[in-house]
């Protein structure tokens, strides 16, 4: 599963004069005082300064208090038009677009942005067009319509760069990076954010710097570098605390929640998601509210709080459906599917998983990919064309200058031209090398992604193979208690018939004797019925997904259960196989805190390897060979030692150091993927603080020692 997050959007101002006006406006308190001052004047409703101040206050409210902005600007655009204040009219529609976008009402936001764009274009406000195009692209992106979003972004980027508008350029680069992020093009996304960060630092734009660091952290989280992500997010967090920006704090808390979730720090993750949720609801920010709910649902699901997780997930889906947020619908259906699966409701889990796949496929559709390539190619061609024109003008200037001083500077011109050619050739070589490096980097990253997918598939195959071993052992093992139950129940039926006859005959002595036999028979039936019940519970315990939570375990009982299951599993595949099973368990062994499902898988792997070794030796050994596996459990100081000893084939010295490596196996192709001992090592050493030691002599046998601390 690949998870895509909603990154912080940087909404561009509509024009240079709008940026200037907002920069001078100050905070909402200052703007309110300013408006009250204007209202004391006669005919203030026709004063363009007053009308601009209302727009500025609406802009200040739009990101953090969208409802206040909408109420303030209700009918304001129409009033500006009625007094002929065209700049105020298109500005009012633009700010309304911002406010509705914050609320998650993307359809209404798009309508207001389009009105603002049409007015700006009609009345010649050319500098405003890139910013509005950028915001229209953001709305399309929020709806999952990446093709029109990219068309808007790249169109705006051309004009913004030509106008040397750094603020709008940085904003557009941020939004193009978000689409690259959604399309899983992480190197391209990070490159765009680095360019945006440089622009923001050059402008001393604290909000832009916060966004860049936050979004770079998002990318590092996706490529599984959570510690690097945490470092960048903490930089963003400190800056957001300094400027006390509620929107930035909301988004940063949500992103930190995702990082702590990946680090498996569930308590910290829950705290961050709850903080983001509270801030988002306070601001009326529907999109971030939904994302925080999805994150909280994931944490609660992993904590086993399924009812709370389901409530959070369903609320997120309801909100996403209301505002038409495709990405959130995808993520919400994914987590709700997982919650229903853990609750045992397979029908609902499958239904939500189908919805998740539908939304996921719609986001990563081929049309979006093709359009992205086309727009990117068009943009790069335009940049090269402008660069060519710039170089042409420079060359013309050099030619005219050279003609004026041709005689005096002939030698100098020749030297300059020669050096220019060398420099041009060196640049071509360097460019070619950079292209080769980039291509090799992309190939390496693609190979790494494929290796990770393959690894996940192989681990699943290993678990399924383990499940097959348990199932075969259980089928064989459960037959014995079932035979006892059947036999004793049959005998009891005959005894009951005799009992009836003796009762009718009045033979009390025989009645009592038969009753005693029946009591013993029923006791045996009960005993073997419980034995069958324990076997079934063992199967369910092994097949259940690991919760990662430790529980008090009687290790001797668990070892004995899996020892016999492994043996009977091999017998189910090879009817002729027999071996001597020896157990030596110390009395009064302490109870250990272990993860039951994980320890069960370790035991099954180790026992399967021991039985496999003696089975292989039996094929080549003489008739005098008696296969045997001995299992010992003893307390040694503050540790428990599990010793598994077989008289099988043994392990060659040259591969002893490799047997714990992932994907290393001595079994023939098709009989193992080489993950059993690797997974066992991780479970014992990393999850339980224990050790695994191997002593073996080729041709004689193997002794495997597992050490577990009593208090861990």
Domain-embedded: residue 531: yes
* Alpha-carbon span 202 to 351, nearest angstrom: 50
- Identify whether residues 638 and 686 lie together within a single domain: yes
- Identify whether residues 593 and 682 lie together within a single domain: yes
- 3-state SS of 603-658 is HHHHHHHHHHHHHHHHHHCCCCCCCEEEEEEEEECCEEEEEEEECCCCCCHHHHHH
- Identify whether residues 658 and 634 lie together within a single domain: yes
- The pLDDT score that the predictor gives to residue 467 is 52
Helices and strands in the chain: count of H runs, count of E runs? 26, 7
Domain-embedded: residue 105: yes
* Residue 660 contacts residue 602 (beta carbons within 8 Å): no
- Identify whether residues 43 and 124 lie together within a single domain: yes
Domain end marker among 142, 167, 185: 142
* Residue 583 contacts residue 562 (beta carbons within 8 Å): no
- The pLDDT score that the predictor gives to residue 373 is 43
User: What are the φ and ψ backbone dihedral angles of 693, each rounded to 5 degrees?
Assistant: -120, 140
Domain end marker among 142, 171, 201: 142
Give the pLDDT band (50/70/90) at residue 566: confident
Domain-embedded: residue 184: no
Is the pLDDT assigned to residue 369 strictly greater than 60?
no
* Residue 609 contacts residue 509 (beta carbons within 8 Å): no
Tally of domains in the chain = 3
- Of residues 484 and 69, the one with the higher pLDDT is 69
- The pLDDT score that the predictor gives to residue 381 is 38
- Of residues 129 and 104, the one with the higher pLDDT is 129
How do strand 592-594 and strand 691-697 relate by DSSP bridges? Answer: unpaired
Q: What is the pLDDT of residues 598-647, one digit of tens each?
A: 888 889 889 998 999 999 898 888 788 999 999 999 998 889 999 999 99
* Alpha-carbon span 393 to 396, nearest angstrom: 5
- Identify whether residues 585 and 639 lie together within a single domain: yes
- Identify whether residues 528 and 570 lie together within a single domain: no
Q: What is the pLDDT of residues 153-197, one digit of tens each?
A: 888 888 888 888 888 888 888 888 888 887 788 888 888 888 888
Least confident of 5-14, 44-53, 191-200, 215-224: 5-14
For 277-310, letters b (16+ CB in 10 Å) and e give bebbeebbbbbbbbbbbbbbbbbbbbbebbebbb
- Identify whether residues 590 and 640 lie together within a single domain: yes
- Identify whether residues 510 and 585 lie together within a single domain: no
Cβ–Cβ contacts within 10 Å for residue 639, how many?
15
* Mean pLDDT of all residues belonging to the chain: 80
- Identify whether residues 566 and 691 lie together within a single domain: yes
- Identify whether residues 517 and 597 lie together within a single domain: no
How do strand 580-585 and strand 628-636 relate by DSSP bridges? Answer: parallel
In the DSSP assignment, the letter for residue 43 is: T
* Alpha-carbon span 54 to 70, nearest angstrom: 12
- The pLDDT score that the predictor gives to residue 400 is 61
* Alpha-carbon span 349 to 590, nearest angstrom: 40
* Residue 252 contacts residue 240 (beta carbons within 8 Å): yes
* Alpha-carbon span 693 to 577, nearest angstrom: 28
Sign, CA torsion 491/496/501/503: positive
Domain end marker among 501, 527, 543: 543
Domain-embedded: residue 626: yes
Domain-embedded: residue 85: yes
Q: Which of 146, 87, 142, 78 minimizes the C-alpha distance to 119?
A: 87
- The pLDDT score that the predictor gives to residue 665 is 66
In the DSSP assignment, the letter for residue 591 is: P
- Identify whether residues 508 and 602 lie together within a single domain: no
Is the pLDDT assigned to residue 75 strictly greater than 90?
yes
* Alpha-carbon span 615 to 593, nearest angstrom: 34
- Identify whether residues 629 and 685 lie together within a single domain: yes
- The pLDDT score that the predictor gives to residue 512 is 84
- The pLDDT score that the predictor gives to residue 393 is 56
Is the pLDDT assigned to residue 119 strictly greater than 90?
yes
Q: Which of 555, 665, 550 minimizes the C-alpha distance to 605?
A: 665
* Alpha-carbon span 160 to 153, nearest angstrom: 10
Q: Domain holding 122: CATH number?
A: 1.25.40.10
Cβ–Cβ contacts within 10 Å for residue 422, how many?
10
Domain-embedded: residue 167: no
- The pLDDT score that the predictor gives to residue 385 is 41
Least confident of 17-31, 93-107, 490-504: 17-31
Least confident of 7-21, 282-296, 450-464: 7-21
Domain that holds residue 606: 551-709
Is the pLDDT assigned to residue 580 strictly greater than 90?
yes
542 to each of 84, 470, 603, how far by Cα in Å?
76, 8, 11
Domain-embedded: residue 523: yes
How do strand 628-636 and strand 592-594 relate by DSSP bridges? Answer: unpaired
């Amino acid at each position: 599963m690949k998870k895509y997050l909603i990154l912080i959007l940087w909404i561009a101002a509509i024009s240079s004069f709008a940026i200037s006006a907002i920069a001078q406006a100050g905070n909402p308190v200052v703007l309110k005082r300013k408006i009250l001052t204007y209202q004391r004047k006669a005919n203030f409703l026709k004063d363009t300064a007053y009308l601009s101040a209302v727009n500025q206050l609406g802009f200040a409210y739009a990101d953090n208090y969208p409802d206040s902005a909408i109420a303030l600007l209700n009918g304001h655009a129409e009033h500006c038009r009625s007094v002929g204040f065209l700049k105020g009219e298109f500005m009012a529609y633009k700010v309304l677009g911002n406010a509705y976008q914050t609320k998650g009402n993307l359809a209404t936001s798009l309508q207001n942005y389009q009105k603002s764009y049409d007015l700006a274009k009609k009345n010649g406000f050319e500098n405003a067009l890139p910013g509005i195009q950028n915001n229209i692209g953001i709305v399309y992106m929020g709806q999952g319509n990446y093709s029109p979003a990219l068309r808007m972004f790249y169109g705006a980027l051309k004009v913004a760069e030509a106008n040397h508008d750094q603020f709008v350029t940085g904003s557009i680069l941020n939004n193009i990076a978000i689409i690259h992020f959604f399309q899983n093009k992480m190197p391209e996304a990070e490159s765009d954010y680095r360019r945006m960060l440089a622009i923001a630092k050059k402008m001393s734009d604290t909000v832009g710097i916060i966004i860049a660091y936050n979004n770079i952290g998002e990318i590092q989280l996706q490529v599984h570098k959570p510690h690097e992500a945490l470092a960048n997010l903490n930089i963003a967090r400190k800056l957001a605390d300094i400027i006390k920006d509620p929107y930035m704090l909301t988004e940063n808390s949500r992103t930190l929640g995702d990082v702590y979730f990946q680090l498996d720090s569930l308590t910290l993750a829950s705290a961050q998601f709850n903080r983001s949720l509270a801030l988002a609801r306070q601001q009326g920010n529907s999109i971030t509210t939904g994302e925080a709910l999805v994150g909280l649902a994931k944490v609660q699901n992993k904590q086993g709080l399924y009812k709370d997780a389901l409530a959070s997930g369903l609320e997120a889906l309801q909100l996403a459906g209301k505002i038409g947020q495709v990405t959130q619908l995808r993520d919400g259906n994914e987590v709700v599917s997982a919650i229903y699966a853990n609750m045992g409701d397979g029908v609902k889990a499958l239904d939500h998983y189908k919805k998740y796949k539908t939304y996921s496929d719609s986001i990563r559709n081929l049309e979006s990919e093709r359009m992205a390539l086309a727009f990117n190619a068009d943009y790069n061609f335009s940049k090269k064309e402008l660069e060519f024109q710039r170089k042409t003008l420079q060359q013309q200037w050099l030619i005219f200058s050279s003609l004026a001083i041709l005689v005096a500077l002939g030698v100098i011109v020749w030297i300059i031209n020669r050096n220019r050619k060398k420099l041009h050739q060196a640049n071509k070589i360097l460019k070619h090398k950079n292209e080769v490096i980039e291509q090799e980097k992309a190939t390496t990253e693609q190979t790494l992604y494929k290796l990770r997918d393959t690894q996940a598939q192989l681990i699943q195959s290993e678990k399924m193979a383990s499940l097959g071993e348990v199932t075969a052992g259980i089928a064989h093992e459960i037959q014995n208690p079932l035979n006892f139950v059947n036999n004793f129940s049959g005998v009891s039926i005959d005894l009951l018939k005799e009992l009836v006859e003796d009762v009718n005959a009045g033979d009390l002595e025989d009645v009592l004797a038969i009753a005693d036999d029946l009591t013993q028979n029923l006791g045996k039936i009960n005993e073997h019925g419980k034995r069958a019940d324990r076997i079934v519970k063992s199967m369910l315990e092994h097949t259940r997904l690991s919760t990662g939570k430790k529980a008090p375990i009687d290790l001797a009982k668990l070892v004995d259960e899996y020892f016999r299951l492994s043996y009977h599993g091999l017998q189910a595949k090879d009817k002729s196989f027999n071996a001597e099973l020896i157990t030596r368990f110390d009395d009064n062994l302490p109870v250990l805190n272990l993860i039951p499902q994980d320890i069960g898988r370790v035991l099954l792997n180790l026992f399967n390897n021991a039985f496999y070794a003696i089975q292989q030796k039996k094929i080549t050994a003489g008739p005098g060979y008696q296969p045997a596996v001995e299992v010992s459990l003893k307390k040694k100081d503050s540790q428990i030692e599990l010793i598994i000893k077989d008289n099988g084939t043994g392990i060659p010295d040259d591969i002893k150091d490799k047997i714990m490596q992932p994907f290393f196996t001595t079994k023939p192709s098709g009989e193992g993927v080489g993950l059993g001992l690797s997974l066992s090592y991780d479970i014992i050493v990393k999850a339980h603080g224990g050790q695994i030691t191997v002593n073996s002599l080729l041709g004689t046998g193997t002794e495997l020692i597992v050490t577990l601390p009593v208090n861990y």
